[in-house]
A and B are shown apart, each in its own frame.
Chain A
Amino acid sequence: MSGPSASSSSLEAKPLRPAASAAKAREPLNVLIVGVGGQGVIMVSKALAWLAQSKGYEVKQSEVHGMAKRGGTVFSHVRFGPQVWSPTIPKGEADILVALEWAEGLRWLPYLKPGSGIFICDTKRIVPPFACLNRQPGARLRYSRETPAEVKAHVAEGYAIDATQMAAELGNERAANVVLIGALSTALDFPAEDWEKALSSFVPKKTIQVNLDAFRLGRSWIADARRGATAAEQAPLAPMPERSDAPYSVRLEITPQWCKSCDICVKLCPERCLRLNAERVAELAQPEKCTGCRLCELLCPDFAIRVHLDRPVVDATAAQGARL
């Protein structure tokens, strides 16, 4: 909207066009649902889209779930209203962001409408493969370090729910997405009975009861949080497996008389830290890169390599104490 009048501050406060406020009312409600493959993101969005459609709204839903089987990101845009044009939600336009995984929720925060967006997030943490890219022994996982309290300060309305734990207590961890549906339902105007009807048609028959329980639990949790009975920002983060920080050193014992320069260790080392020296005998060229994975030892047909680790047994229970 450019024009001479636009520069005037007094005019900016008024609607630019008479029809603008009317158009505003016709704008769709945007719900963005994100998570990790296998968590049930698509099921949540399908239930919501089906319900909105049954209420006579125009619904558009679009999703990306290509890498789902690899534990990759899955997101689904659901838009419904009197009229919906684009199937995707622009950045900063989502009215509600439902995240089934903590880091995914943080990743999609820029899509949330600043000032009024509602952020509903499971504190479940699924560490993606790229967080482990540094395979150096003792390397820290590069997972997000933000606490729920820090995130809540940045959104208009935020809920961090340990939905996975709640669902597990009900008897089926996989109903965590329905706990979040319960939470989501409090932010929308559809009656609870209709939600339950929609859910019953989307979950497997055997699990209808546990899913309905999960839905009611999610609803009551949000109601408690709104009353202040549950401290939403105090919800603890779900525990995350972490590797020990104590470094350990790796030493390669190479028997040069046995090496036949077949090059297998050099070419198959994942860190590419070996090489053949001038005599065509394997040697460790970059000791700092070696992670002690033992691939060279196992694949050497001539038994010329032996990997020595100072601390061959890594006790994961000791690392459990050092949570975020």
Chain B
Amino acid sequence: MSSTFVDSAADFDVRDYLRMDMMPHFLCPGCGHGIALRALLWAMHELGIAKDQLAVVSGIGCAGRLSAYIDANTFHVTHGRPLAYATGLALARPDLHVVVITGDGDCLAIGGNHLIHACRRNLKLTCLMLNNEIYGMTGGQVSPTTSETMLTSTTPLGNSEPSFDACALAAAAGAGFVGREVTRHVPRLKELIKAGLAHPGFAFVEVLSDCTEIFGRKNDLGSSPEMMLRQKSDIRPSAYRDSVDTPFRANELPTGILAQTNRPEYGAAYRRAAAAQRASAAAQAGSANAKEDS
């Protein structure tokens, strides 16, 4: 029996994919977004995607700033519209791997409309939604994914709005690939993003990230490592959950690949229709020429 254990992280140095003059990044201590960024770059490294072949589009917010640190083609665009910009980019340049990095507020509130239509269209691009349950950059307002009873600067009595299950939303809207993972399991997150990048249609990946400085502090969720340990209980069997440590997320959020379908991809269908239109136009022009000649 021959088996070789290969340390896949050994030849991946995240610094090869960062704009070193921008580092260190602006994120708060313990922010999970940095880990999500590493997972994205690791997945890209393992798939052998060259930096020139990657286009990252991001919106506004803490998550939106991540594109500035990636040494690739990056676009930092208007609030909530990274999917709209990415749709145009992916249609014009089908050879590129287009990745959208967006936050929960950016994706579900300001850009909620763009999300459902991007899911419906099923255009080949990867949407990485970093869900930290809060608008961190603007002062900690309630977001569509804030768990119930949680304190934010706009819900001083505790949030009483039910939160969105973003993955269920994306799957219902028709996304070809839907997955979710926590930042604590970096290799698993990397594998999920890899699967999303390899998927031929619209891939929606939700990353459960921690906002330690604003959300964690306001809700007394403990230090950065404590918040990270709470994530661990999210994936434990519910029987152990109460006895070990308590997750702060209100919903029972499953992780892993949650939906995968082989719906037709929009870009290919559009290009086929365009080619057919060009062909028929050319045929008409040809027959018109033939008539003139006769």
Contacts and interface: CB of A to CB of B under 8 A. Distances in A.
A293 B7 CA distance: 10
B244 to A, nearest CB: 15
* Interface secondary structure of A, over-half rule: mixed
Contacts of A257: 24
A140 interface: no
A260 interface: yes
B33 A301 contact: yes
A93 interface: no
A258 B23 contact: yes
Nearest to B23: A258
Interface stretch (B158-166, B170-178, B220-228): B220-228
Nearest to A297: B9
B18 A298 contact: no
Contact of B212 (A262, A266, A304): A262
Most-contacted residue by chain B among A262, A266, A315 (CB, 10 A): A262
Interface string B16-58: 0010000111011111111100100000000000000000000
Residue with the highest number of chain B CB atoms closer than 10 Å, among A260, A294, A300, A315: A260
A133 interface: no
Question: How big is chain A's contact interface, by range?
Answer: 20 to 34
B224 A262 contact: yes
Interface stretch (A30-38, A57-65, A210-218, A306-314): A306-314
Given A262-B224, A312-B10, A301 B3 contact: no
Given A313-B6, A316-B4, A303 B23 contact: yes
B241 to A, nearest CB: 19
A178 to B, nearest CB: 24
Interface string A270-301: 00000000000000000000000010011111
A257 B21 CA distance: 13
A309 B24 contact: no
A317 B4 contact: yes
B137 to A, nearest CB: 16
B225 A302 contact: no
A27 interface: no
A299 B7 contact: no
Contacts of A294: 7, 9
Interface of B: 1-7, 9-11, 13-15, 18, 23-25, 27-35, 38, 184, 186-187, 212, 223-226, 228-229
Interface of A: 257-258, 260-264, 266-268, 294, 297-304, 306-307, 309, 312-317, 320
Given A297-B9, A301-B27, A303-B38, 17 more contacts: A257-B24, A260-B28, A261-B29, A262-B29, A262-B30, A263-B30, A264-B224, A266-B225, A267-B225, A301-B30, A301-B33, A302-B34, A304-B24, A309-B10, A312-B7, A313-B7, A314-B4
